[in-house]
Amino acid sequence: MSKIDLSLKNLDELFPDNFSQEQIAKAKTVFLKELALLSHKFYGGKMQTLPKAGVYGFNWFNVYYTPGVSKISTTIRDNNDTSFEISNRGNMVAVVSDSTRVLGDGDCTPPGGMGVMEGKAYLMKYLAGVDAVALCVDSYNKKGEHDPDKIIEFVKMLQPSFGAVNLEDISQPNCYKVLDTLREECDIPVWHDDAQGTGSVTVAGLINALRIVKKEIKDVKIVMYGAGASNATIARLILQAGANPENVIMFDSKGGLHKDREDIKSDARFYRKWELCQKTNPNKVNDVMEACKGADVLIALSKPGPDVVKPEWIKNMGTKPIVFACANPVPEIYPYAAKDAGAYIVATGRGDFPNQVNNSLGFPGILKGALLVRARKITDEMAIKAAYSMANYAEKKGLSPDYIMPKMDETEMFAYEAADVAMEAIKNGVARIELTWDEVFNRTMEDIKQTRATIDMMMQNNFIEKPQEEMLEKALKVAIDAVK
């Protein structure tokens, strides 16, 4: 068994030399899952609450609480917008989920999404200096059904305490009603990261993949496998970014989306899918193999793989095919298998493979930009602007088939993204205040640096305890044993 570097670099090298690529890919997944469970038990979760104001003597409690705090209450009473600057509301996001569509695991019961929601909060803080709270809610009604109106009412009620809301892991069709209603009826940004977030980063990856293969988005044939909230929103944003709807074919579990899909038309809850039925796939193609013939791009966000996307589909594609296999936690086809089938560029949602197309590259910077100008909503134009911000940042670093997206450790990218999104919010007329691009960029970088310095200080002083070596070794043993 290899010695494990605490940084978890070069995961492939942890496993025996005689392991095949498929065994290594499976073992990495088992290792990361097992280590997640052990580390979450070790830490008791990932987030905590700490003050950001100092205590310099006992009377400071009279400043922070009574009687001094009365002035804060009356100031906000007289002008609610002051709550963004004299409370933590201006940098605070609620991460809200009913846990009905958690990654690839489906309905995990209301508290089952806490690990993911805390993860969102952690990434927001570390990557963009945004404070966030995980809020998993019970959306069951008296009939034992998940009721989207309960989530809508909950989010409306919490608005006064937050600067933005990140919706997460809400199953379709409820997710469409929840997002579209709250976007229109709330006075703060409500963002569905599985939809708009995944859409934004996927458009970013597609922009650069097409730059590499020297193809225009208006000309390419795109096959989309999976028609959930993520892929449906990706399709909408791709069309807004210039794709020809006649060149787009989307599949759900019953076949291609097109105008003859009466099952979708007859269910008003799936109105977003019906919109795509009316716009795309004019030839009413129902077979994936046929759809992939000569296709330039295959974007899969369906169910965890491997072996969900078939090598034969990729072999049937056109020149220099682009394959995005973004199901979590296991892609629909492993990158090595997609490459063996002829894919020129392959992306997944995971950071342990090249080309991570994951919404973690989007939501921290996007929400930071929206918060800093106190936006009332995040428009589709802001999401597309973020996509070009990510894509252009990576292009400046130098594109290659294994580098189409920025990486999560490229800190400045999040500040660029925040600034670009903030400027688009001002342009779209949804910002409460106006800042310059430099002001947003500099503020974001300052907040990121402060967060990182705080975490480093806590680690150095053992306020954040180092994981035990036995914990990593146990996770590795479980992974190796699982795939032998």
Which are the catalytic amino acids? 65, 120
Taking phi over 0 as left and psi of -120 to 50 as alpha, with beta for the rest, 190 belongs to beta
Cβ(480)–Cβ(15) under 8 Å?
Answer: yes
> Which residue, 427, 383, 428, 400, is CA-closest to 197?
383
Contact 415, 441 (CB under 8 A): yes
Q: What is the DSSP letter of 173?
A: T
147 three-state secondary structure:
coil
Collect contacts of 436-440 with beta carbons under 8 A, ≥24 apart. Answer: 440/369, 440/372, 440/373, 440/415
Interatomic CA distance for residues 220 and 214, integer angstroms = 11
Residue written as token pair 């905590």? 48
CA distances from 89 to 54, 62, 449 (A): 19, 21, 20
Distance CA 222, CA 205 (A): 14
Residue 172 is classified by DSSP as T
Strand-pair partners of 222: 248, 297
Give me the amino acid identity at 70.
S
